[in-house]
Chains A and B, each alone.
Chain A
Amino acid sequence: MYRYDEFDATFVRQRVDQFRGQVERRVNGELSEEEFRPLRLMNGLYLQLHAYMLRVAVPYGTLNSAQMRKLAFIADTYDRGYGHFTTRQNIQYNWPRLPDVPDILEHLAEVEMHAIQTSGNCIRNVTADHWAGVAADEAEDPRPHAELMRQWSSLHPEFSFLPRKFKIAVTGASADRAAIRYHDIGLRLKKNGQGEVGFEVFAGGGMGRTPMLAPRVRDWLAKEDLLPYLEAIMRVYNLHGRRDNKYKARIKILVHALGAEEFTAQVEREYARIDAPHIEPEQQELKRIAAYFAPPDYDALPGDDPALALRLEKHEDFAGWVERNVSAHRAPGYGIVNISLKPIGGIPGDASSDQMRAVADLAETFSLDEIRISHEQNLVLPNVAKRDLFALWQSLGEHSLADANIGLASDIIACPGLDYCGLATARSIPIAQDISRRLGDPARQREIGDMKIKISGCINACGHHHAGHIGILGLEKRGEEYYQITLGGSGDERASVGEIIGPGFSAENLTDAVETIVDTYMGLRENGETFLEAYRRVGPDPFKEAVYATH
């Protein structure tokens, strides 16, 4: 894992002091709310329905036990004993008081964390594959590049007042777990014929009211050229992105208006005259960062653990959990453990401070002190020896963290919605809870198989509904909440945008409709195809017929 050096540490401390001064000026009236707004946003502080909300960055979703314990401490001291992990691999606190925020930031700085640029019209916290560095299907660990981008984008003097927020995601794997084509810039590390590793670059993707998949703007970019090339994209966007209408201000609109070809040509022109030698990081600097992400010292273990095989036979529950929650690791004898934050009927992504501390302890004991946050609002212990799986599973169970539902129907993504968010048009948490209860019977959801249900409480799509196999969007008409269903969305390497199936549903009827869709799929699936495969084969009609015939 990356560790701050003196430069990073000083930078973050100065930022805390700077914000402390700004908060003081706000509190004593020197700054108006309008002037304070972009400043607080660039420090992760929102004004929500009931209170301020602080969004803390977990850069590329990686953290250690000490950091997780600090998050628990903040939840206890400044919030109500819990935190909410988001689709941006961040954590949000819903009840901080404004005068406390500089202190919270100071606590974070102690463990090399911050809230810089987790909101505002700037380059947001960079996200990455949550299995980075341990996945079996990876060309190269994307995290050194993600860290380089974290540094480069932090208080970038030229790109801190963009037309709109800007999100970058990076993966090094062939399977896309970071939904890169749904981002403003999506990066994929790949190998060419000579065995060199470089980037495939996508730009202009996004969700919101006009969902778009990013087209490819560069098939191959040498690794060293990443920052100059990013600056070229950012400059074209900063100068030409629309600023007259906030709903048309994202880069996807610019790319769409110009066409991918013309946009790419403009970027290439800018890139050709950019001061690249000045912007490029030095080789030794790249090496310095990469060294922090060198694979840890794994024990030399046999690929299969005999004791594990025995346990799997004897404990059905344990076997079910291993099947769903443990994924292939690149080191023999190890597994990637995914911890579900989706208990049946619970709030997706919420964790209590006790649970955070438990995960911190378990990461120390079983996962070489490393934890990940996934954009699917779950946690990951990336380095667990197979021989430890049973003990880990038992401990997780003691903290209600052993739900065996990763990737299943109750592993629902949901944004905070009307329960917290000032922009919401409808509730999303209670909807998620209801669907989870309805479909959450362990045998039933295993039978249904891979299923991504994603719920947003408004058109901003923080719940990634466009990428849901079943997507749900909460809207409002004449004071009544209603919900639109989309089908067939996906954020993986075969990304697609879900299609609206027809008129919306009331909160009362929604879960029935979702269940009908699931039952329809169960009835028509062939040869064990997943919901998404079946949908791609048969299209929306059978689902529409079933849903609108009964409602």
Chain B
Amino acid sequence: MPLIRNGEIVADTWRVLEEVEDIPAEGDVIVSLERLKNSTKQIAARADRTGVAIENSADPVELEAHLAHLDLIALEFPAFTDGRAYSQARRLRTQYGFTGELRARGNVLVDQAGFLKQVGFDSFEVTDGQSLEIWNASARSMTLTYQRGYDGGQAIREFAR
């Protein structure tokens, strides 16, 4: 599953930790929400980075107490038509002030690149076979956005009307 960040395919330094594995002291790992809640102290003491993957039905409020120890939050698209993670991302960025990496995973389609960026995602696990070229073209296909307060293209607020 190629990972795209900043318009490039990059090596993924993160590893998703299996439920049966112990939390290692080193290495960038992504844990489940359960794990995060149950092993708070252990995670806070880690030398390397920790991320969490949450389901798209989870309320970001559950992460609130842990945000200081999180460098990455992975949000899920079980189907590309299931848009809950857009609102989760938006909440994490604007209401919880999360500044770490927001990763989109699951059924992530190239044609959603622009929207994903605008709500605050910055890395994307895209389905095999989608070319980087098309991804970047898609992310750039709309350079203007009407919505105020969203990232991405040139927002209407910055446009001298």
A interface, CB within 8 angstroms of B: 5, 7, 10-11, 14-15, 17-18, 21-22, 35, 38-39, 121, 151-152, 154-162, 227, 235, 238-239, 243, 273-275, 278-282, 285, 288
Q: Is the CB of B95 within 8 A of A7?
A: no
Chain B residues whose CB sits within 8 angstroms of the CB of A17 once the complex forms: 141
Task: Identify 12 residue pairs between A and B in the complex whose beta-carbon atoms are under 8 Å apart, listed by A's number.
Answer: A18-B138, A152-B147, A155-B115, A155-B145, A155-B146, A159-B83, A235-B87, A238-B86, A275-B94, A275-B95, A279-B147, A279-B149
Q: Is the CB of B150 within 8 A of A14?
A: no
Q: Is the CB of A160 within 8 A of B144?
A: no
**B13 at the A interface (CB under 8 A):** no
Known contacts A7-B161, A121-B81, A282-B157; A235 and B142 CB within 8 A of each other: no
Query: Once the chains are docked, how many angstroms separate the CA of A417 from the CA of B86?
Result: 35
Q: Is the CB of B147 within 8 A of A156?
A: yes
Query: Once the chains are docked, how many angstroms separate the CA of A11 from the CA of B142?
Result: 7
Chain B residues whose CB sits within 8 angstroms of the CB of A157 once the complex forms: 86, 114-116, 118-119, 145, 147, 150, 152
Query: Once the chains are docked, how many angstroms separate the CA of A5 from the CA of B87?
Result: 30
Query: Once the chains are docked, how many angstroms separate the CA of A14 from the CA of B83?
Result: 23
Chain A residues whose CB sits within 8 angstroms of the CB of B146 once the complex forms: 11, 151-152, 154-156
Q: Is the CB of A161 within 8 A of B90?
A: no
> 20 other contacts beyond A157-B116, A243-B84, with CB at 8 A cut-off?
A5-B161, A7-B159, A10-B144, A15-B142, A152-B146, A152-B147, A155-B142, A155-B145, A156-B147, A157-B145, A158-B86, A158-B87, A158-B115, A160-B115, A161-B80, A161-B86, A227-B148, A238-B84, A278-B148, A280-B148
Chain B residues whose CB sits within 8 angstroms of the CB of A282 once the complex forms: 157
Q: Which residue of A7, A38, A235, A281 contacts B90 across the interface (Cβ within 8 Å)? A: A235
Known contacts A21-B137, A35-B109, A285-B161; A239 and B144 CB within 8 A of each other: no
Q: Is the CB of B150 within 8 A of A158?
A: yes
Closest Cβ of chain B: how far from A185's Cβ, in Å? 17
B residues 25-43 touching A (CB-CB < 8 Å): none
Q: Is the CB of B156 within 8 A of A7?
A: yes
B interface, CB within 8 angstroms of A: 80-84, 86-88, 90-91, 94-95, 109, 111-112, 114-116, 118-119, 137-138, 141-150, 152, 156-157, 159, 161
Q: Is the CB of B152 within 8 A of A243?
A: no
**Most chain A beta-carbon contacts within 10 A, residue among B95, B146, B156:** B146
Query: Once the chains are docked, how many angstroms separate the CA of A238 from the CA of B147?
Result: 17
Chain A residues whose CB sits within 8 angstroms of the CB of B112 once the complex forms: 161
Chain B residues whose CB sits within 8 angstroms of the CB of A22 once the complex forms: 111
**Most chain A beta-carbon contacts within 10 A, residue among B147, B157, B161:** B147
Query: Once the chains are docked, how many angstroms separate the CA of A159 from the CA of B149?
Result: 14
The A interface is mostly helix, strand or loop, or mixed, namely helix
Query: Once the chains are docked, how many angstroms separate the CA of A22 from the CA of B87?
Result: 26
Chain B residues whose CB sits within 8 angstroms of the CB of A7 once the complex forms: 144, 156, 159, 161
Q: Is the CB of B82 within 8 A of A243?
A: yes
Known contacts A39-B111, A157-B147, A159-B83; A21 and B141 CB within 8 A of each other: yes
Query: Once the chains are docked, how many angstroms separate the CA of A513 from the CA of B127?
Result: 57
Closest Cβ of chain A: how far from B37's Cβ, in Å? 21
Q: Which residue of A154, A161, A285 contacts B82 across the interface (Cβ within 8 Å)? A: A161
Q: Is the CB of A281 within 8 A of B148?
A: yes
Smallest Cβ-Cβ distance to B83: which chain A residue: A161
Q: Is the CB of B143 within 8 A of A239?
A: no
Q: Is the CB of B83 within 8 A of A238?
A: yes
Chain B residues whose CB sits within 8 angstroms of the CB of A235 once the complex forms: 87, 90-91
Smallest Cβ-Cβ distance to A160: which chain B residue: B115
Closest Cβ of chain A: how far from B60's Cβ, in Å? 10
Closest Cβ of chain A: how far from B63's Cβ, in Å? 15
Closest Cβ of chain A: how far from B26's Cβ, in Å? 36
Query: Once the chains are docked, how many angstroms separate the CA of A158 from the CA of B149?
Result: 11
Q: Is the CB of A14 within 8 A of B143?
A: yes
Query: Once the chains are docked, how many angstroms separate the CA of A7 from the CA of B145?
Result: 9
Q: What are the 5 closest A-B residue pairs judged by CB atoms, nearest first?
A: A161-B83, A278-B149, A157-B118, A157-B115, A18-B141
Closest Cβ of chain A: how far from B91's Cβ, in Å? 8
Query: Once the chains are docked, how many angstroms separate the CA of A17 from the CA of B115?
Result: 17
Q: Which residue of B88, B94, B156 contacts A239 across the interface (Cβ within 8 Å)? A: B88
Chain A residues whose CB sits within 8 angstroms of the CB of B159 once the complex forms: 7
Closest Cβ of chain B: how far from A38's Cβ, in Å? 6
Smallest Cβ-Cβ distance to A288: which chain B residue: B161
Smallest Cβ-Cβ distance to B109: which chain A residue: A35
Query: Once the chains are docked, how many angstroms separate the CA of A273 from the CA of B157?
Result: 21
Known contacts A121-B81, A157-B86, A238-B83; A279 and B148 CB within 8 A of each other: yes
Q: Is the CB of B87 within 8 A of A238?
A: yes
Q: Which residue of A151, A156, A275, A280 contacts B156 across the interface (Cβ within 8 Å)? A: A151
Query: Once the chains are docked, how many angstroms separate the CA of A469 from the CA of B19?
Result: 60
Query: Once the chains are docked, how many angstroms separate the CA of A33 from the CA of B1?
Result: 23
Q: Is the CB of B149 within 8 A of A275?
A: yes
Query: Once the chains are docked, how many angstroms separate the CA of A152 from the CA of B157?
Result: 12
Query: Once the chains are docked, how many angstroms separate the CA of A154 from the CA of B144?
Result: 11
Query: Once the chains are docked, how many angstroms separate the CA of A238 from the CA of B115?
Result: 15
Query: Once the chains are docked, how many angstroms separate the CA of A21 from the CA of B133?
Result: 13
Query: Once the chains are docked, how many angstroms separate the CA of A159 from the CA of B114?
Result: 13
Chain B residues whose CB sits within 8 angstroms of the CB of A152 once the complex forms: 146-147
Query: Once the chains are docked, how many angstroms separate the CA of A227 from the CA of B156?
Result: 14
Closest Cβ of chain B: how far from A422's Cβ, in Å? 19
